Amino acid sequence: MDKNGTLLSVQNLYLYYKTRKGLVQAVDDVNMELKRGETLAVVGESGCGKSSLARAIIRLLPRNVGKYSGKIILDNVDTMKLNEEEFRKQVRWKRISMVFQGAQNSLNPVLKVGYQIAEVLMLHLNMSKSRALEEAKKYLRFVGIHEAFVDRYPFELSGGMKQRVMIAMSLITNPDIIILDEPTSALDVITQANIMNLLKKLKKERNFSYIFITHDMALASELADKVAIMYAGEIVEIAPSEVFYSEPMHPYAKGLIGSVPTLRSEKELKSIPGSPPSLFNPPKGCRFHPRCPHADDRCSEKNPPTIELKDGHLVKCWLYVR
Ligand SMILES: Nc1ncnc2c1ncn2[C@@H]1O[C@H](COP(=O)(O)OP(=O)(O)OP(=O)(O)O)[C@@H](O)[C@H]1O
Ligand code: SF4
Ligand SMILES: [Mg+2]
């Protein structure tokens, strides 16, 4: 950790994919920081690059990478400078773990749940099978599942329980940072609320740092200390939650907040007109300009810089450039 308490610092991160149609600019010059014990919610519409950002941080990339560069500094070490073996031994799962989008469907149907959890320890920490199975029981209890389930198969578990198992797997190596990619999106609302409560409890008890990825602005507000809004491969606004939810500044972020229903408000819900751009050939200038009610000539010509408005409140929009 550096003197400001920063645990992770992502700087000028790019991840492009090569395809027959050209390069997909999924993560384009992303910058963000995470402190110990802090939860950063990354919010944005489908296809804006949230999962790509997560995969870039934990370096689990598809074969068709076209560009992968930048700095990912974890405790003062630039993990981008580590080779694959060093990264696997020192960082992935040990320091940074991840619950993948739709992960509850990725449990192996023919292996007992306890073994699948234990396997993480056997593989990554060279733990013996018997000790790893004891740990698996402990972590099942920890995520609110009776330890007897260590001997059950995935088909005997509900969707919510499977997701708890995935969370147990991500915690068991005691990482500093856990990336949660849409951890509740496939679940019904009650199960979703239970999982959110579990994440809050774990955060309080264990001081984990989370990167919580969601398309759901309201859900993000439940857990986030800090919110990052992603649009078309870029982060367009980052702010502490209380600042962001009371005063979002980027026109896209304002649009997202305006489309969230609230119980007490009589205000008419507004949707953002248009749809997100293709990442093959994103619009020139500000990528949001074809949908933005405030766009002017400058917006369609030049990509706006990121401006710090107040401590920790950053926005990428020409409206704030003096
Ligand atoms: N391996 C790949 N090759 C080419 N394009 C890809 C690849 N993986 C993702 N993409 C594209 O990159 C863009 C960003 O995808 P990504 O999955 O990161 O978005 P997302 O924000 O996680 O979306 P969702 O909310 O639907 O999960 C999309 O246009 C997607 O189609
Ligand atoms: S830079 Fe221009 S187009 Fe982009 S969000 Fe700001 S005002 Fe809208
Ligand atoms: Mg995704």
3-class state of residue 36 by DSSP = coil
Cα(166) to centroid(ligand 2), Å: 39
- What was the pLDDT predicted at 165? 94
* Residue from 236, 294, 320 whose mutation best tests the ligand 2 pocket (most atoms within 8 A of CB): 294
Residue 9: both structure tokens together: 């610092």
Nearest-5° angle of CA 65, CA 68, CA 72?
A: 140
Give the mean pLDDT per block of 10 residues along the chain (322 residues): 81 97 95 96 95 97 97 96 95 94 86 95 93 95 93 93 92 94 88 90 89 94 96 97 94 87 62 85 94 95 95 95 87
Distance CA 245, CA 37 (A): 20
- Pairing relationship of beta strands 177-181 and 96-99 according to DSSP bridges: parallel
Distance CA 66, CA 110 (A): 36
- What was the pLDDT predicted at 168? 93
- What was the pLDDT predicted at 73? 97
Q: Does residue 256's CB lie within 6 angstroms of at least one atom of ligand 2? A: no
Closest atom of ligand 1 to CA, residue 278: 29
Q: Does residue 17's CB lie within 6 angstroms of at least one atom of ligand 1? A: yes
Q: Does residue 285's CB lie within 6 angstroms of at least one atom of ligand 2? A: no
Report if residue 139 sits inside a domain.
no
Cα(48) to centroid(ligand 1), Å: 7
Q: Does residue 185's CB lie within 6 angstroms of at least one atom of ligand 1? A: no
Per-residue pLDDT reduced to its tens digit, 122-177: 998 999 999 999 999 999 998 999 999 999 999 999 988 999 999 999 999 999 99
Task: Tell me how far CA of residue 172 lies from CA of 176, 199, 316, in angstroms.
Answer: 11, 14, 38
Report if residue 148 sits inside a domain.
no
Q: Measuring from atom 7 of ligand 1, which residue has the nearest CA?
A: 17
Residue 302: both structure tokens together: 């030049």
Report if residue 67 sits inside a domain.
yes
Closest atom of ligand 2 to CA, residue 298: 2
- What was the pLDDT predicted at 108? 93
- What was the pLDDT predicted at 93? 94
Task: Tell me how far CA of residue 143 lies from CA of 37, 65, 99, 226, in angstroms.
Answer: 18, 35, 14, 24
Domain count of the chain?
A: 1
Report if residue 138 sits inside a domain.
no
Report if residue 259 sits inside a domain.
yes
- What was the pLDDT predicted at 224? 96
Cα(57) to centroid(ligand 1), Å: 15
Give the closest ligand to the alpha carbon of residue 280.
Answer: 1
Report if residue 11 sits inside a domain.
yes
Asked if 262 and 58 touch (Cβ cutoff 8 Å), the reply is no
Q: Which domain holds residue 276?
A: 6-86+177-182+209-320
Distance CA 255, CA 41 (A): 17
Cα(47) to centroid(ligand 3), Å: 7
Full-model pTM? 0.94
Beta bridge partners of 27: 15
Distance CA 180, CA 195 (A): 12
- What was the pLDDT predicted at 261? 65
Q: Does residue 24's CB lie within 6 angstroms of at least one atom of ligand 1? A: yes
Report if residue 244 sits inside a domain.
yes
- The CATH number covering residue 15 comes to 3.40.50.300
Sign of CA dihedral 156, 160, 161, 162: positive
Report if residue 107 sits inside a domain.
no
Give the closest ligand to the alpha carbon of residue 234.
Answer: 1
- What was the pLDDT predicted at 268? 66
Cα(94) to centroid(ligand 3), Å: 23
Note the residue count of the chain: 322
